[in-house]
A and B are shown apart, each in its own frame.
Chain A
Amino acid sequence: MTSETGFDPQLFDRFPTAEARPQSEVDELERIWAAPKGWARLTVVNNNYIGLWYVATAFLFFLLAGLLALAVRTQLSLPLLGVLPQETYNQFFTMHGTVMMFLFAVPVMEALGVMLLPQMLAARDLPFPRLSAYAFWAYFVGGLSFFCSLFVGLAPDGGWFMYPPLTSTTYSPGINADFWLLGIGFIEISAIAGAIEILVGILKTRAPGMTLARMPLFAWAMLVFAAMILIAFPAVILATLLLEIERALNWPFFDATRGGDPMLWQHMFWFFGHPEVYIIFLPAAGLVSMMVASLSKTELVGYQLIVLALLGTGFISFGVWAHHMFATGMPTLSVGFFSAASMAVSIPAGIQVFSWIATLATGKPTFNTPTLFVIGGLVTFVMGGLTGVMVAMVPFDWQVHDTHFIVAHLHYVLIGGAVFPVFAAFYYWVGMTSSRPLSERLGKWAFWLMFAGMHITFLPMHLTGLMGMPRRVYTYLPGMQWEWTNLLSTVGAFVLAAGVAVFLLDLARNFRFTAEDDAGNTYGGGTLEWLPTGLYSTRSIPVVRSRQPLWDDPNICKDVEEGRYMLPFSATGLRETLITSPIRAEPQYLTIMMGPSVWPLLAAVFTAGFFLLMTVQAYIPAVICLPLATISILRWLWDTDRPAKQAEVDVGAGVILPTYVTGPSSHGWWAIICVLVVCFMIFVMAVFGYLFVYGIHPEYWTAPTGQWWAVPIVAGYGAAALLVLYGWRLLTREKSTLWSPTAAVLFASGFILAALVLDWFSWRAQGIDPELTSQGALSHAMLALEAQLVAIVLLMAGYLAARTSRGLVTRPRNTTFDVTCLFLLYTAAQGAATTLLLRFFPGGV
């Protein structure tokens, strides 16, 4: 046997252990993991609660956006109706798209991840429980306030894609657009927080022995999902930031009259926007892959092929963004590349569809509610995929682009590929969190109404599009023959809504929340989430020997419950879980996890407050919120990164693990690398924007002078990097004084700040005005991005100094110290790259 970490895999054979374990250990676990009562319940961080609240909030947004859709369909049922006035209609369709994509589709997948993954991987919780709580509360507060803009008529009305210049101050002077830019930009940050949590959780907290080849497919899908979010979302974050700056400070990024280019927005938006579709589809596909096997009572056929398909989709979906832009007049050759990638990306989808069919054929599915939703979703998704192949053909897209044909296509893909699977998942997994399962009878009604309603709505809509009806029109004229298909679509929408209403009735009658006495494994699944659990998840963490441990080992539930596997107790008296290696899931160490806290909640409220108050131009309260949010985050972090009293513990059967590990194998290290990937992607997109706009309008650009300024600036950043490396070495030397490593970091921060200040003022002296040309706007934006990082560097350095003064920086290694150093190194590198780019391009040496 090969090992990844030096762990001897033969130790696994000691489990399940033979001796009986005392009940007092369970009482201890219950005490440690108990949820606060009353109002303090809001401070819980446990995934059983946060996950469910998260799912419920996402579902609430699904209902709200669905109501908007009903209003939209009513307005379009006949020509020249006045149900919704033009302004209201434009806000409604914008909000329908925005809320469905940003507040339902992505969050519901993250929510299901937070709810299901820890149990599926037999972890006690996700590795950063307070981060999940923060992500949830930020989303909850931010999302609801954003939605409320509708009630005061201030909702955005520029379409969910927000193309400038329609959304610039010239054509959208109100604060409606700012609600979108600040509200959505902020919710993206919450999505990224959730993605980091999920990615690290999947790679580092799996049950021992759960190798990559034994991972539940939902975990595989969520792994790809989280990685895709880290790559794709920075593009839209940067785009919203630039557009908001253009609106607030009048810097022309997208304004063609001053050398900007509106196409820059489209490239950035769709570089996020198309992967987004797969970001939604992949987790749903993962859910389907798991359900289809359980519901057919057989192993999934082609598990390995599906893993391949997930990975392939994750990559190739980044090569299709411009297929939303075939009608913009891009060069023909580039159009061809995107057409080809759009074709290639359907092969992984084909693999998954035929794997599911093969699994249904191999097993014996009964036609219960989740099975119906799975099969209905499959058929619907295939139809949407086929129209997707059609619109990947450039000339055909020139005709149907921006017509109702596309509206039909995208709803087939998203409802078939994500909504039906999510409803199947609601029925299938509800037993984990409710003391009663949902009703099969009502469920079937819900399915058939939703399925029929979906097809009555969207099948005729293809024809409406071919008949020439564009998208995003608030009405149409009589005599165009569009009445019949539109009326049919409206009827269908109400049938679909009736199906959702039946589901709500089912929830009201049967859903009863519980964390302990759940209804359990109604559909006979074989994966770990069906082990008996409490708030602490499983009593002991099993050694995984196959993909469906519950099917392959009939005793596993009993053994886990009786504590015959790893960590049947709390070894340190704190919340803890096993950290395992990413490939073979070999136990590496025990991590201490944070318990309930009000700080993530406060941090989320103040962050949301900052963004929303900025939107409504209440600048003073907004500026007050920012330090409050920062303090809350630092306060929550203050409790973390503290080694337990015991340096090593026995997690059962003589397996000894350390309780504090730093460096590249620690989960903190992985998380900061994820953050740096996000920062790097933002920088890459900014560089792309810089080069792209120069390529379109070089006449607005001039070659900078005084290029020698680059020498002291780069030297400053270089000195900072060297100091950081030196500080790192000092920390490992026990002989160095308490303060010397931190002092090196503080000096490094000073150098970084000095380099930035030098860069900014010498660049200002160039006279390239940010309000006059796109070069001015983009160069100043890149300096502003660096300034943001430097501000965080200063904050981190101050925090490190505070921890040093309290003696919290452990030796020879310390996670807080590592994280700070990595961030400083990255900031120095980006700063140097920025300086060189601005000064030497365009203009040459």
Chain B
Amino acid sequence: MFNGWPPPVLDPAGPYAGSISLLSWILFAMAAVVLLVVLVALYLALFGRRELQRKVGGKTAIWAGGVAFPLVVLTALLVYGLSLTNHLSDPIRGDEMRVRITGEMWWWRVAYLDAQGQEIILDANELHIPAGQPVVLELESADVIHSFWVPRLSGKLDMIPGRRNLMRIQANTPGTFGGQCAEYCGGPHALMGFTVIAHDPVQFTRLMEARLARAAIAVDATSAGARLFDTAGCSACHRIAGTDANGVAGPDLTHVGSRRTLGAGILPNNRGTLMGWIGNSQAIKPNNRMPPYTLLSSEQLMALASYLEAQR
């Protein structure tokens, strides 16, 4: 999901990342010019002709190069940077679409909110948004500090226990955008990815309606996979809407079959990877909170995986 080339910081997909990308190029140019000035001065100091050396060697040069020149550059940057900061921190209005994302050791809890702020759809490690409009994220943490970062859509913002941080993201066109936890959160912090999927607004509305409708439907609890999900203990930590499984410690699996990835952005999602993950996720993502189920036979794993695949 996360593609390193072209560098996502410089390859924005929305207005918030876009203005920072422009700023980045301006800063690179500034750095290049200043470095060139210093290197030329240094070259003249060491190898220049005597009269040039005398110019570089005077107090005037220190005032010009060390005080006046930086002052002009810095003042311009400061004014620009502060205005941009101000622009990017527009106050959040009440009527924008909101999603609550909670950082957990080492995955992301996602809850879509209605206008009253009630959680109406639960999901994990994946966020669906409508393209072309801003979405407000309520960033929280359930344990330690995490940081939410989807570089093609916006800068990062920390998730801090006891606090709620608000940020906006926006994608201009439909697409898939990778993200990662940016604040060291111990253990497998390296393997804590995230995916944002921007849809055409019409499709997005349809998706949300389908998911809302799904919550009201009871799931057939008689399949081998469904029974195993209960007896093997999965339901103690995971919830699937319309079943007795209502654990809250781990990710909500109501829509797990439709997710792009498994294990918080580290594996593609298919039956094989599902079986492997359930069987021994510790080998894939050491020290994650899910115990290994090495006692399950491959038939049982298959049954579980196909049951989960169907949860879309």
A387 within 8 A of B: yes
Stretch of A395-403, A708-716, A813-821 contacting B (4+ beta carbons < 8 Å): A395-403
Stretch of B122-130, B151-159, B195-203 contacting A (4+ beta carbons < 8 Å): B151-159
A346 within 8 A of B: yes
A72 within 8 A of B: no
* Cα-based distance from A386 to B162 in the complex (angstroms): 36
A327 & B186 in contact (Cβ 8 Å cutoff): no
B210 within 8 A of A: no
B19 & A357 in contact (Cβ 8 Å cutoff): no
The contact of B160 among A170, A328, A361, A467, by CB within 8 Å, is A328
B9 & A361 in contact (Cβ 8 Å cutoff): no
Within 328-379 of A, Cβ neighbours of B (below 8 Å) are at: 328-329, 332, 335-336, 339-340, 343-344, 346-347, 350-355, 357-362, 365, 375, 378-379
When C-beta atoms are compared, the residue in chain B nearest to A464 turns out to be B4
B4 & A481 in contact (Cβ 8 Å cutoff): yes
**Beta-carbon contacts of B171-209 to A below 8 Å, as 1s and 0s?**
000000010111111111111000000000000000000
- Known A-B contacts A379-B39, A395-B23; A165 and B143 likewise in contact (beta carbons under 8 Å): yes
A394 within 8 A of B: yes
B117 within 8 A of A: no
B74 & A346 in contact (Cβ 8 Å cutoff): yes
A263 & B84 in contact (Cβ 8 Å cutoff): no
Minimum Cβ distance to chain B for residue A563 (Å): 40
A263 & B57 in contact (Cβ 8 Å cutoff): no
Minimum Cβ distance to chain A for residue B223 (Å): 33
Chain A residues closer than 8 Å to B287, beta-carbon distance:
86-87
The contact of B158 among A87, A157, A329, by CB within 8 Å, is A329
* Cα-based distance from A392 to B30 in the complex (angstroms): 14
Minimum Cβ distance to chain A for residue B257 (Å): 22
Within 49-100 of B, Cβ neighbours of A (below 8 Å) are at: 53-54, 56-59, 61-62, 65-67, 69-71, 74, 77-78, 81-82, 84-86, 88-89
**Beta-carbon contacts of A380-413 to B below 8 Å, as 1s and 0s?**
0011001101101111111111110000000000
- Known A-B contacts A335-B85, A379-B42, A398-B20; A359 and B31 likewise in contact (beta carbons under 8 Å): no
Within 13-63 of B, Cβ neighbours of A (below 8 Å) are at: 17, 19-20, 23-24, 27, 30-31, 34-35, 38-39, 41-42, 44-46, 48, 53-54, 56-59, 61-62
B65 & A171 in contact (Cβ 8 Å cutoff): no
Interface residues on B, range: 35 or more
Minimum Cβ distance to chain A for residue B234 (Å): 25
* Cα-based distance from A85 to B285 in the complex (angstroms): 11
The contact of B44 among A344, A361, A473, by CB within 8 Å, is A361
Chain B residues closer than 8 Å to A383, beta-carbon distance:
31, 35
A469 within 8 A of B: yes
* Cα-based distance from A830 to B45 in the complex (angstroms): 55
B20 & A395 in contact (Cβ 8 Å cutoff): yes
Chain B residues closer than 8 Å to A382, beta-carbon distance:
34-35, 38
- Known A-B contacts A301-B59, A350-B67; A481 and B53 likewise in contact (beta carbons under 8 Å): no
- Known A-B contacts A86-B188, A346-B70, A382-B35; A262 and B85 likewise in contact (beta carbons under 8 Å): no
When C-beta atoms are compared, the residue in chain B nearest to A378 turns out to be B42
A360 & B45 in contact (Cβ 8 Å cutoff): yes
Chain B residues closer than 8 Å to A477, beta-carbon distance:
2, 191, 266
Within 128-159 of B, Cβ neighbours of A (below 8 Å) are at: 139, 143-145, 147, 149, 151, 154-158
B66 & A340 in contact (Cβ 8 Å cutoff): no
B272 within 8 A of A: no
**Beta-carbon contacts of A147-168 to B below 8 Å, as 1s and 0s?**
0000000000111000101100
A524 within 8 A of B: no
Chain A residues closer than 8 Å to B61, beta-carbon distance:
354, 357-358, 361
When C-beta atoms are compared, the residue in chain B nearest to A85 turns out to be B286
Chain A residues closer than 8 Å to B8, beta-carbon distance:
466-468
A318 within 8 A of B: no
A575 within 8 A of B: no
The contact of A475 among B77, B162, B180, B190, by CB within 8 Å, is B190
B5 & A362 in contact (Cβ 8 Å cutoff): no
B156 & A402 in contact (Cβ 8 Å cutoff): yes
Minimum Cβ distance to chain A for residue B52 (Å): 8
Chain B residues closer than 8 Å to A387, beta-carbon distance:
31
* Cα-based distance from A462 to B276 in the complex (angstroms): 36
When C-beta atoms are compared, the residue in chain B nearest to A475 turns out to be B190
Chain A residues closer than 8 Å to B266, beta-carbon distance:
477
When C-beta atoms are compared, the residue in chain B nearest to A163 turns out to be B145
A474 within 8 A of B: yes
- Known A-B contacts A332-B85, A389-B74, A480-B3; A256 and B162 likewise in contact (beta carbons under 8 Å): yes
B312 within 8 A of A: no
Minimum Cβ distance to chain B for residue A813 (Å): 47
The contact of A166 among B74, B144, B154, by CB within 8 Å, is B144
Chain B residues closer than 8 Å to A394, beta-carbon distance:
81-82, 84-85
B35 & A386 in contact (Cβ 8 Å cutoff): yes
B71 & A347 in contact (Cβ 8 Å cutoff): yes
Chain A residues closer than 8 Å to B5, beta-carbon distance:
467, 481
B89 & A90 in contact (Cβ 8 Å cutoff): no
Minimum Cβ distance to chain B for residue A398 (Å): 2
B48 & A395 in contact (Cβ 8 Å cutoff): no
* Cα-based distance from A842 to B38 in the complex (angstroms): 54
Chain B residues closer than 8 Å to A476, beta-carbon distance:
190
B62 & A358 in contact (Cβ 8 Å cutoff): yes
* Cα-based distance from A396 to B189 in the complex (angstroms): 23
- Known A-B contacts A262-B145, A398-B156; A467 and B4 likewise in contact (beta carbons under 8 Å): yes
The contact of B4 among A257, A378, A468, by CB within 8 Å, is A468
* Cα-based distance from A392 to B81 in the complex (angstroms): 9
* Cα-based distance from A361 to B34 in the complex (angstroms): 19
* Cα-based distance from A171 to B161 in the complex (angstroms): 13
B81 & A480 in contact (Cβ 8 Å cutoff): no
B227 within 8 A of A: no
B78 & A327 in contact (Cβ 8 Å cutoff): no
A471 & B144 in contact (Cβ 8 Å cutoff): no
The contact of A257 among B41, B62, B78, B162, by CB within 8 Å, is B162
When C-beta atoms are compared, the residue in chain B nearest to A256 turns out to be B162
Chain A residues closer than 8 Å to B178, beta-carbon distance:
468
- Known A-B contacts A379-B42, A403-B182; A350 and B161 likewise in contact (beta carbons under 8 Å): no
* Cα-based distance from A350 to B34 in the complex (angstroms): 11
Minimum Cβ distance to chain B for residue A390 (Å): 4
Chain A residues closer than 8 Å to B30, beta-carbon distance:
386, 389-390
Chain B residues closer than 8 Å to A262, beta-carbon distance:
145, 160-162
Minimum Cβ distance to chain B for residue A519 (Å): 27
A658 within 8 A of B: no
**Beta-carbon contacts of A303-330 to B below 8 Å, as 1s and 0s?**
0010000000000000000000001110
The contact of B27 among A357, A358, A396, by CB within 8 Å, is A396
A350 & B186 in contact (Cβ 8 Å cutoff): no
Q: Please, could you name 26 A-B residue pairs with CB atoms under 8 Å apart, sorted by A?
A: A159-B184, A163-B144, A165-B161, A171-B105, A261-B162, A263-B160, A301-B59, A305-B62, A332-B86, A354-B61, A361-B53, A375-B42, A390-B24, A392-B81, A396-B27, A398-B157, A399-B9, A399-B151, A401-B156, A402-B184, A468-B2, A469-B4, A472-B184, A472-B190, A476-B190, A697-B162
Besides A357-B41, A400-B9, A468-B2, 19 more A-B contacts (Cβ < 8 Å) are A256-B163, A262-B160, A301-B58, A305-B62, A327-B147, A329-B160, A346-B70, A347-B70, A361-B57, A379-B39, A398-B156, A399-B24, A402-B156, A463-B7, A466-B7, A470-B190, A472-B184, A474-B189, A475-B190
B-to-A contact residues, CB < 8 Å: 2-5, 7-10, 17, 19-20, 23-24, 27, 30-31, 34-35, 38-39, 41-42, 44-46, 48, 53-54, 56-59, 61-62, 65-67, 69-71, 74, 77-78, 81-82, 84-86, 88-89, 105, 139, 143-145, 147, 149, 151, 154-158, 160-163, 165-166, 178, 180-191, 266, 286-287
A-to-B contact residues, CB < 8 Å: 85-87, 90, 157-159, 163, 165-166, 170-172, 256-257, 260-263, 301-302, 305, 327-329, 332, 335-336, 339-340, 343-344, 346-347, 350-355, 357-362, 365, 375, 378-379, 382-383, 386-387, 389-390, 392-403, 463, 466-477, 479-482, 696-697
